[in-house]
């Protein structure tokens, strides 16, 4: 703990199985990892924005299944904040579990696209049962490999399925097609960039620690790469949730740049817009 007197730490000695490169209790005795904690506000902000947009676009009421992914995003922010602020084992479990609570509702939406009532119910039961078993197994064993593999696999599946949704639900070369592609490619890019920052925070921790000590505060905050991981994944997660909700809803959204939060709105008209992957090009051709 970087020679910190545990008596002065509000939460006491860390009991979590993982600890990140940020120095513990360097800023406040009440927050173990200051930057890693506060950057979680990005999830909460985007989650609240998404819920507000749903209410504005809804004619009578908001479908709970459409709202659930945004609530999951808020849960990630709150649970991750609790974990990084305290570095306790139980808050680490909260943080890990919240990641699946955020991705599972999105996975449910893409898997039940155009499904009948029977398939909808079966898919729901399978996903809920799998999620509960995973939570129990993870909490009991603290096994991180399966947790990580399932999370990455779920995110990858959602990304691939989103590509197919764009080509099947929008006309190729139409403004909506180009704008939606812009947001999707941006979401993929920033999520992957955040992942590499997460890896660098672990692999280059000694170098980053020396660099932060050399430049001092407040500029040292810029080298807290796990905090940037939160920002990048928060933006990427919101972007994909918004894109999928747009493709699967009946909302008449006339101006994407005004309906989605920045930078997703910017990405809809940026260099990312209109870039179609060759793997699904034949799907787009069939729509012409």
Maximum CA extent, the chain: 69
pLDDT for position 284: 43
28 beta partners: 31
Question: What are the tokens at 33?
Answer: 């990892």
pLDDT for position 254: 57
Contacts of 4 (CB under 8 A, 6+ apart): 24, 25
Query: Is 108 a known ligand-binding residue?
Result: no
Q: Cα(148)–Cα(128) distance, rounded to whole angstroms? A: 18
Query: Is 33 a known ligand-binding residue?
Result: yes
What is the full per-residue pLDDT of the chain (288 aa) written as tens digits? Answer: 444 555 578 888 889 988 999 999 989 989 999 999 999 999 999 999 999 988 887 665 678 888 999 999 999 999 999 999 999 999 999 999 999 989 999 999 888 888 888 999 999 999 999 989 988 888 888 777 888 888 888 988 888 888 888 877 766 767 777 788 888 889 889 999 999 999 999 999 999 999 999 999 889 999 999 999 999 999 999 999 988 888 887 665 555 666 788 888 887 777 666 555 444 444 444 444
* Cis amide prior to 263 (ω within 30 degrees): yes
Buried b (16+ CB within 10 A) or exposed e, 16-33: beeebbbbbbbbeeebbb
Question: What are the tokens at 199?
Answer: 């890896």
31 beta partners: 28
Query: Is 138 a known ligand-binding residue?
Result: no
Contact (Cβ atoms closer than 8 angstroms) between residue 62 and residue 116: no
Query: Is 147 a known ligand-binding residue?
Result: no
What architecture (CATH level 2) is domain 21-286?
Up-down Bundle (1.20)
Where exactly are the structural domains of the chain?
A: 21-286
Question: What are the tokens at 94?
Answer: 């909260």
Q: Cα(15)–Cα(284) distance, rounded to whole angstroms? A: 51
pLDDT for position 3: 45
| Closest listed residue to residue 44, CA positions, set 92, 102, 97 | 102
């Amino acid at each position: 703990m970087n020679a910190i007197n545990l008596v002065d730490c509000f939460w006491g000695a860390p009991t979590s199985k993982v600890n990140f490169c940020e120095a513990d209790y360097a800023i406040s005795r009440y927050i173990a990892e200051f930057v890693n904690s506060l950057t979680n506000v990005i999830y909460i902000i985007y989650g609240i924005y998404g819920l507000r947009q749903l209410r504005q676009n809804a004619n009578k009421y908001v479908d709970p299944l459409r709202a659930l992914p945004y609530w999951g995003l808020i849960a990630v922010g709150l649970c991750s904040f609790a974990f990084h602020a305290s570095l306790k084992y139980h808050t680490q479990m909260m943080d890990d579990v919240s990641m699946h609570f955020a991705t599972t509702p999105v996975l449910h939406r893409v898997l039940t696209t155009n499904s009948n009532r029977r398939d909808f119910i079966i898919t729901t039961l399978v996903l809920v049962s799998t999620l509960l078993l995973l939570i129990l197994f993870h909490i009991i064993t603290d096994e991180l490999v399966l947790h990580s593999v399932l999370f990455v696999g779920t995110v990858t599946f959602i990304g691939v399925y989103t590509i197919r949704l764009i080509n099947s639900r929008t006309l190729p070369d139409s403004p909506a097609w180009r704008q939606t592609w812009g947001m999707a490619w941006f979401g993929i890019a920033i999520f992957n960039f955040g992942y590499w920052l997460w890896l660098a925070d672990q692999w280059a921790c000694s170098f980053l620690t020396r660099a932060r000590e050399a430049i001092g505060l407040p500029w040292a905050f810029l080298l807290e790469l796990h905090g940037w991981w939160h920002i990048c994944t928060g933006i990427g997660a919101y972007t994909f949730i918004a894109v999928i909700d747009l493709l699967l809803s009946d909302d008449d959204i006339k101006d994407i740049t005004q309906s989605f939060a920045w930078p997703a709105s910017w990405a809809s008209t940026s260099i990312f817009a209109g870039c179609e992957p060759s793997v699904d090009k034949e799907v787009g051709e069939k729509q012409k």
